[in-house]
Amino acid sequence: MRRLDLTSAGFLLMEKRETPMHVGGINLFSYPEGVNEQEFIASAMDQLQGCSELRKPFGDYVVTGKTGLFWATDQHIDMDYHVRHSALPAPGRYRELFALASRLHTTLLDRTRPLWELHVIEGLQNRQFAVYNKIHHAAIDGVGAMHITQGMCTDDPTAMTGFAPFSLEAYEAYKARYVSRPKPVKTPDKRTLRNVLEALKQQYDSSLHLATAMRRFGMAFVGRGGNLAVPWHNVPRTSINTRVSGARRFVAQTFAFDRVKAVCKAMDGTVNDVVLAMCAGALRRYLLSRDELPVHSLKAMAPVSLRNEDDLDSTNAVGFITADLATNVYDPEKRLRTIQESMRAGKELLQELSAAEAALFMQLTQLPALLTSILGLGAKLPAFSTVVSNVPGPRKPLYWNGARLDGIYPASIVFDGFAMNITLVSYHDQLDFGIVACRRSMPQIQRIIDHLEDALQELEDVAGISGPQRRSSDRRSGVRARKPAETSPASASRAGAAPPAKKAPAKKKAPARKKAVAKTKAKAKAKTSTAKTGANPKAKTPAKGRRKKAPAAAKARRKTGTTVKPKLSNS
C-alpha cells in the first residue's frame, strides 16, 4: 500500500454528497473519413474495456489505515463498470451533450473501486462523438490529465493505438517518447562527503525561505504586502460564495488562440493575464446584471503547476496564486494592469522557493481552507471568490485511431464558498473553456459564455485590434464557427426576437426654395391669427388632447438608437 500525500488526502477529506471532488471533462472527436460509425464505436469500446493492467493509481482504490489514507490494488477490477457506452437523444446537439455531462459530473465516484469512469458518447451531429472522463482529484491534477490525453493520442492521423489511455502499456510508451533518458549516476567517493554539509546548509536555507515567504504572506493581511493578494483578505460575498447543492451545470466554448495572442502582443501581457482579464470582465458583467457587484474586487484562485518537467508519476503537484480580478475597476486596461501586478507579486513569492519548499508552503497555506471546508464554514468564510485555472495542453492537432481530436473541454470541482469554477485548456490553435457551477446557486451560468466574448471584444477595442485579426466568427461552440449575431429561426423564436420590420418608403424631399416659401407663408398666417384673437403664441395648449411627454429613459433610447438585447439561447 502507498500513503496519499496531504494534498491528495485533502480532496478526499473535503468530499461529501454536495461537493464531489472529481475532475474530468469532454474530449470531442470527429470520425475518420469513410468509417462506419457503429463499427468504430464498437471497436473503441472493445479496446477500452479489454485493458488488463492499469497504471497507478487507476488500478487502486482508497483504504483508511491507522495513520492515514492509502492506495490499495484492486485485484478484481470490473472494466465494464468503469468504461460505459452512452448515446445522446435527437437531435444530438452540444446542448444535449452538455446536459448529459452535467448529470454525469453530479454523481459521486464509488470509493470501493478505483476512482475513475470513462463514457464513450455517440449520437452527435456532424459525424462527431465524445469521450467524457471523470477522475477523482486525489488521483490526478490538470497537468497529469493532459499527459494522459497525449498518451492516448498521436499526431499521426494514420497511426492506430492498441491500448487504453489508463493502461500501463500506454504509460510506458508515452514515457519512453516524452521523458529524456536519465544521465548515469556516479558512485560517490570520500570527496563527496562535503555534500552532507551542503545538504545541511540547504535545509537551513529552506527554513529561512519558508519563514520569509510566510512572513510576506502574513503581512498582506495587514495591508503591507504590496500588490500581493492572499486568501480571505477583502474577499466579498456574492451569490458565487454560498453553500452548494450536489447538482451541477456544465457549459463549454472555444475561442481562437490568435485573438488572445493579439491582445497579449498589443498590451504586453501573458496569455494567463488576458484570460484572467476576460474572466474578470465576464464576472463583472454577470454581477452587474444581478445588481450585486461588490465594492471590493473578486479574488480568484489561480492554480500553478509545481510538477517537474519529467514528472509523470505524481498524482498532485499543484499550488496556487491569488489573483486580484479588479472587478471593481471600470476601465478594462486598468483592470488588466491590476491583474498583472497581483500575478507578478504571487509569482515572485513562489520563485524564491524550490519545488519542495513551494509544495510545503502550499500545504501550510491550504490547511485553513481544508479546515473551514471540513467544519462547514466555507460559505461563511470564503477564501476566494472563484477558481480560474489555465492548463497548458498539446500544441499540435492530435488523433485517436484516426479520429481527429476537435476540442478538450475540462470540468472541475466546486464546493461550499466556490459555486463556480472556470477551467480552460490551450489546445493547438484554440482555447477551450469548461465552466462548472452549482445548478441551484447559479442557474444562468450559460450567460458567462457570452460575457467572456464581450470581455474579449472590450480588450480588443482597448488594444486597437480590428480587421482580419478580430473576427466574431472566431468564437466557436465545439469546432463549428458561428457568428454571435447569426441565429437560426428556431433559436430566434426561443430568444424572443421579433422579425425585422419592413422599412416604409422614404418621403421625397421638397426643394429648398419651396420650403422657404412655405415657411414664410406659415409665419404670416400665424401673425394674422394672433392679431385677430389676441392670443399669446407662447401660451401652453390645453391639457385635453395634448400628447404626453415620453419618459427620459425612452428619450435617451431614441437618441442613442439602443434597444433591449434579446437573450441568447444555449444551442
- Active-site choice (105, 119, 137, 147): 137
Closest to 232 in 3D by CA, of 420, 384, 419: 384
User: Look-up: residue for cell 424572443?
Assistant: 496
- Burial of 395-427, coded b for 16+ CB within 10 Å and e otherwise, reads eeebbbbbbbbbbbbbbbbbbbbbbbbbbbbbb
Instruction: Calculate ∠ Cα 250-252-254, nearest 5°.
Output: 170
Q: Are 220 and 71 in contact (CB under 8 A)?
A: no
User: What is the residue whose three cell numbers read 418621403?
Assistant: 507
DSSP 511-568: PHHHHHHHHHHHHHHHHHHHHHH---TTSPPPSTTPPPPPPHHHHHHHHHT--PPPPP
Cα–Cα distance for residue pair 237/229, rounded to 1 Å = 17
What is the C-alpha separation between 452 and 283, in angstroms, rounded? 8
C-alpha to C-alpha distance for 410 and 434, rounded to whole angstroms: 5
Active site residue 76: no
Q: Could you write out the DSSP letters of every residue in 51-97?
A: --SB-TTTTEEEEEETTEEEEEE-TT--HHHHEEEEEPPTT--HHHH
- Which active-site residues does the annotation give? 137
